[in-house]
Structure 1
Amino acid sequence: MLWRRKVATAIVVAVALNVAAVNLNEDFSGGHGDAAFAATVVPNVQAAVVRNWGPVVAGDEFNYLGPPNPLKWKVYDSVGHDGNGIRSPKAVKVAWGALFITGDAHGTTGGVSAKFAQQKYGRWETRMRTSIRDVEYHPVVLLWPNDNKSPNCAEVDYAEALGNVNVIKFSLHYACTRSNYQTRAAKAIDLTQWHNYAVEWTRTGITGYIDGVPWYIDTTPSHLPTVGMHQTLQLDWFPDGTITNQTQMIVDWVRVYR
């Protein structure tokens, strides 16, 4: 998320619980074992199934150990969002069938950018949760312009958590002004539990889904991206001068459909 914005807002409300973080210094070669990883089971309702999107054409199930598959992902190695902290490959690991992005107490965090499905139009779905989250860490599941270029500075944040740890947002950025412009929706949700976040981008509009249910739609032609986009996963640090607590963004899978 590189641009800031003016907003048109739609908000819906609910609640949140907490789950302890997983220690990523542990040996990943062993079994799952860590009870902290297992969030309370919630229904695994997918937009792809409910909407009959057909077969998966790209993505990652994270069914391996170690760093993210280099054929599928570019791992960030740079300064952090807006110059805050750093994005380190050491903060990103695959274990126990999921991708873990860990942000530490000093603003060292991470992110990945997909090399697959760099396309115009399509459907993406991601299963994600967080540990107990410090308000300074903002997990975001988004589509970003290929080659970092877009005439209208397009950005599709289809699951983004900001300072309120109990709320998830959808933000569609569509203008290259100093403050940027966006349309968005917000929904109170338990981010420490697994949820399936999806976006459907067609020639006529963009629709967002949570656990198979549509909750955001924008069909204004001037708001839609005009270039190909690709998936990224980021845990961004927004320091506020208070002590930062370790936070984890955990992704079970990313799937792309035609």
Structure 2
Amino acid sequence: MRVYIKKFMIGLLLGCSSGWGFAQQQSTMDTKLKENYQLVWCDEFNAPQPALPDSTSWRFETGGHGWGNNELQYYVAGIHGKDTLALVSDGTLKIKALKKQQGKNPYVSIRMNTRKSWLYGYFEARAKVTGKRGSWAAFWMLPEKFKNWPLDGEIDIMEYVGYRPDVTQASVHTQKYNHVAHTEKTATREIQNAETEFHTYGVEWTPEKITGYVDGEPYFTFENDQQGNKETWPFNVPFYLKLNLAIGGNWGASQGIDETLCPALYEIDYVRVYQAK
């Protein structure tokens, strides 16, 4: 107990709002970012014993309506029957997808949303993604007052589809630039052992531009056209962070679904938010 209390206090000193905060792994953010930003929120997923994610930091989104992408999973509130699909243990969050029927949906999985939202900053997660055709892991952002997609905007910090091993993708979606219209602004980066090793996925979001990173290296940039037009730059309001593991969907299942996919595991070591000093 004394060890846990010590970790808890260190976490608070670092600015972690989660009750289980304790920054063990060093961020890979580059030197310039480190000079300009300070940690304001984090979840290090260091529960003293196996547990669901901290409910003061996260909420579950539930349902099985396809989520705009014809996805096959039903998102549950952490637990499905006797199966815990969002488990904090041994220093990581483990999001699991199973092939189990829920209503009309043949799979169950997890979609989580932060209770806090932020306007601008550097956002980072250290994660190990699931593979095999049909899986679709993501770390991304939607606005706090989201009503209409794509008008309100979307920031995809990391998307990983299992049929494309060791390739990560960062994107933004707006009314003018989105994947439905085939005008989305996006970039990919090859990485090694994404499914067996942890990598860091981040984005710097400022009034001028959005820059995507993997392992501290920038590979995607979307600049504000400074026209004051929401259709091209809706990124001037607070956004939430999201973690989810989808099965199937227009993109995830574009090359089919591996029948041995489940159980699928998406493991997150930490989520951190930095803002300007």
CA contact (8 A) 1:84 1:237 kept: yes
CA contact (8 A) 2:30 2:216 kept: yes
Q: Distance in 2 between matches of 1:77 and 1:83?
A: 13
Counterpart for residue 200 of structure 1: 204
Counterpart for residue 29 of structure 1: none
Q: Of the candidates 32, 46, 49, which is equivalent to residue 63 of structure 1?
A: 46
Q: Distance in 2 between matches of 1:92 and 1:57?
A: 24
Following superposition, the deviation at residue 134 of structure 1 comes to: 2.1
Counterpart for residue 159 of structure 2: 160
Q: Which runs of 5+ in 1 are unaligned?
A: 1-42
Q: Does 1:93 align with 2:96?
A: no
Cα 1:188–1:66 shift into 2, 3 Å: same
SS of 2:128's equivalent?
A: strand
Q: Distance in 1 between matches of 2:175 and 2:108?
A: 30
Matches within 5 A, 1:1-258: 46-47=28-29, 51-52=33-34, 53-64=36-47, 65-79=50-64, 81=67, 82=70, 84-88=72-76, 89-90=78-79, 91-106=85-100, 107-116=107-116, 118-131=117-130, 133-149=131-147, 152-162=151-161, 163-175=163-175, 179-180=180-181, 181-189=183-191, 190-192=193-195, 193-221=197-225, 222-238=232-248, 239=253, 240=256, 242-245=258-261, 246-258=263-275
Counterpart for residue 11 of structure 2: none
CA contact (8 A) 2:139 2:244 kept: yes
Identity %: 23
CA contact (8 A) 2:173 2:179 kept: no
CA contact (8 A) 1:44 1:195 kept: no
Q: Distance in 2 between matches of 1:231 and 1:186?
A: 20
Cα 1:141–1:178 shift into 2, 3 Å: closer
CA contact (8 A) 2:71 2:247 kept: no
Amino acid at match of 1:179: V
Alpha-carbon RMSD: 2.3
Aligned length: 214
Cα 1:202–1:178 shift into 2, 3 Å: closer
SS of 2:99's equivalent?
A: coil
TM-score by length of 2: 0.70
Cα 1:62–1:138 shift into 2, 3 Å: same
TM-score by length of 1: 0.75
Q: Deviations for 1:102-135, whole angstroms, at most 9, x for unmatched residues?
A: 011342111210012x12211111101124x122
Q: Distance in 1 between matches of 2:37 and 2:199?
A: 20
Following superposition, the deviation at residue 224 of structure 1 comes to: 5.0
Amino acid at match of 1:100: K
Max radius of gyration: which structure? 2
SS of 1:159's equivalent?
A: strand
CA contact (8 A) 1:170 1:186 kept: yes
Following superposition, the deviation at residue 77 of structure 1 comes to: 2.5
Cα 1:188–1:48 shift into 2, 3 Å: closer
Q: Which runs of 5+ in 2 are unaligned?
A: 1-24, 80-84, 101-106, 226-231
Amino acid at match of 2:259: I
Over 3 Å off, 4+ runs: 80-83, 239-242
Amino acid at match of 1:184: T
